[in-house]
């Protein structure tokens, strides 16, 4: 049996929100990443929650899952080793960003008259953070 391990290095450049839906307080969280020289955008839909740490952890696992291709062919085992550069710093920034997005949604829910739907939609579709 032959073993092949490929290292995949991921740089997260930017994270943001788009496609906010007021009906169910959901939004798409996206990350602009560079994985071994190729720029890609990873997107996943989330719902409003108070648990920013869990959402951040889930999003990081989702990003890693996009690149973990294990192949168990007959006589050949190949595996991708996924590494997010500056992981601790990036994880903390993602948690902070998600908490900020959740705070915006909470503010909108509590103060419905202070901001129109279009203003809130514009705010939620333009939240982003560069890393």
Q: How far is 65 from 42, CA to CA, in rounded Å?
A: 11
Domain count, the chain: 1
Tell me the residue range of the domain where 125 lies: 2-130
Sequential DSSP letters for 22-63:
TTTTEEEEEEEEEETTEEEEEEEEEE--S-HHHHHHHHHHHH
The predicted-structure confidence for 95-105, as pLDDT tens digits, reads as follows: 999 999 888 88
pTM over 0.75: yes
Q: How far is 85 from 104, CA to CA, in rounded Å?
A: 29
Q: Which comes out higher in pLDDT, residue 78 or 91?
A: 91
Mean pLDDT of 51-77: 86
């Amino acid at each position: 049996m032959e073993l092949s391990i490929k290292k995949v290095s991921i740089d997260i450049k930017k994270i943001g929100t788009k496609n906010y839906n007021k009906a169910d307080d959901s939004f798409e969280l996206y990350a602009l990443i560079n994985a071994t020289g190729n720029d890609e955008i990873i997107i996943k839909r989330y719902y409003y929650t108070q648990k920013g740490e869990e959402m951040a952890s889930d999003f990081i696992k989702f990003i890693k899952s996009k690149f973990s291709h294990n192949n168990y062919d007959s006589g050949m085992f190949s595996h991708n080793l996924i590494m997010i550069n500056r992981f601790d710093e990036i994880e903390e920034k993602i948690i902070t960003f998600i908490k900020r997005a959740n705070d915006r949604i909470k503010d909108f829910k509590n103060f419905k008259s202070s901001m129109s739907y279009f203003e809130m939609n514009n705010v939620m579709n333009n939240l982003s953070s560069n890393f």
